[in-house]
């Protein structure tokens, strides 16, 4: 499995719509977490209009297809999404050397 750093930049003036769709968005992410794909996620403290999500998946195309099901994405609330493979050097979940 490959680790990916994903960023969301929310559409300007989407606060009210995000509030409306947040329960479904959180449920979607919780399901990905329970299924072992999502490691951690949350809004950036200095830029609440952006979020960082860390995933493990087979490849970027599969992950992007999976993320297309996010209610925030489906409702046009994400202005920009980046999916970048990340070569993790230190991971608290893994204690073996690489």
Average pLDDT over residues 71-98: 88
pLDDT band at 68 (very low <50, low <70, confident <90, very high): very high
The predicted model scores a pTM of 0.90
- CB neighbours of residue 6 within 10 Å: 21
In this prediction, residue 60 carries a pLDDT of 98
Q: Checking phi first, is residue 36 left (phi over 0); if not, alpha (psi -120 to 50) or beta?
A: left
Domains of the chain listed by start with CATH number? 2-85 (3.30.70.1060)
pLDDT tens sequence across 14-66: 999 999 999 999 999 999 999 999 999 999 999 989 999 999 999 999 999 99
């Amino acid at each position: 499995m490959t680790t990916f750093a994903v960023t969301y930049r929310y559409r300007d003036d989407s606060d009210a719509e995000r509030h409306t769709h947040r329960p479904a968005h959180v449920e979607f992410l919780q399901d990905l977490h329970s299924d072992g794909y999502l490691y951690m996620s949350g809004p950036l403290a200095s830029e609440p209009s952006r979020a960082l999500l860390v995933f493990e998946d087979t490849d970027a195309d599969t992950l992007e297809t999976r993320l297309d099901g996010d209610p925030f994405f489906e409702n046009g609330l994400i202005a920009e999404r980046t999916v970048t493979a990340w070569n993790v050097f230190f991971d608290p979940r893994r204690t073996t050397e690489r």
